[in-house]
Amino acid sequence: MRVLVTGGAGFIGSHLVDVLRGRGHEPVVYDVREDPGADVRDPAAVARALAGVDAVCHQAAMVGLGDGVLDAAEYVSRNDLGTAVLLTAMAEAGVRRLVLAGSMVVYGEGRYACPRHGVVRPGPRAVGDLEAGRFEPACPVCGQDLAPGLVGEDAPADPRNVYATTKLAQEHLAAAWARCTGGSAVSLRYHNVYGPGMPRDTPYAGVASFFRSSLARGEAPRVFEDGRQLRDFVHVRDVAAANLAALEAEARGGALTAYNTGSGEPHTVGEMARALASAYGGPEPVVTGAYRLGDVRHITADSSRLRGELGWKPVVGFEDGMAEFARAGMRGA
């Protein structure tokens, strides 16, 4: 299979390219890092890149929380306009298979249960609560403490920042393309991806990159809130394998199918920081109590659909993955 990989020179994309080659496929890298003219917003360049292609893995995106709404236009341009241009070119070229780099950020907060009211959906956390160190969302009905759980793909979307909004819009665009063309679209909703080759020293990278960059500078990782926020840290090689599984699965024409892509092992951000610092041999993390308004408290994945329908399973455990990541090289922003 000849596969166009947008963002193929990036963190996840480069691992995906290796996996595709190892499986006997022919990846075609389309990335501004390698060719400044390889912009997904350029219709002519995208059309040329799609020549002879059987499928597309769309990894190219502007990532991270960004700077509130000040860079909203840039996020929308790169993520949503770029996806629209790509899908238009695919429709014209007759390419009918798409795997999209989705994200768990489309959910907003994860799944919560109240002892009295069952599953509930708390709204955005109030600034006053965050300032006072009250980080846990409460039941919107009775105010009691909530128990976090695993979020499934059927949870309503509730993006809480500009980046999350653009990731949800990408899915809607892909679904519209699938309906119009009869194509097959899969969105892999990545949870917190980490591993060798993460970008360093950039505000747009993930929390694992922040901590690893701090350690490389001889500084203690600085953990927001109280460090007890739950995440699902999934290794980049497992994410690349999920893309391969989606590409090789039987196509479902005319619709978009979303799959959570996580390790299935929830850990707190504080646990991750301590594991990484210990493996690196650096200073202990510092819990700061600081917060970002765009952050959510707990979000962990129920990836059973991906396991059951595509036969995928993660193979890199948390401790082994963090030990490798502590020793691995990183790339420039």
Count the helix, strand and coil residues of the chain and give each as a percent rounded to the nearest 5: 35, 20, 45
Strands across the sheet containing 55-58? 26-30, 2-6, 55-58, 97-103, 184-190, 255-261
Q: How many helices (H) and strands (E) does the chain have?
A: 11, 15
Inter-residue contact 164 to 106 (CB < 8 Å): yes
Helix, strand, or coil (residue 223): strand
Neighbour tally for 271: CB within 10 Å: 18
Return d(Cα 107, Cα 299) in angstroms, integer. 8
Q: Which residues pair with 259 in a beta bridge?
A: 188
163, 194, 259, 280: the catalytic one is: 163
107 is catalytic: no
Catalytic center residues: 163
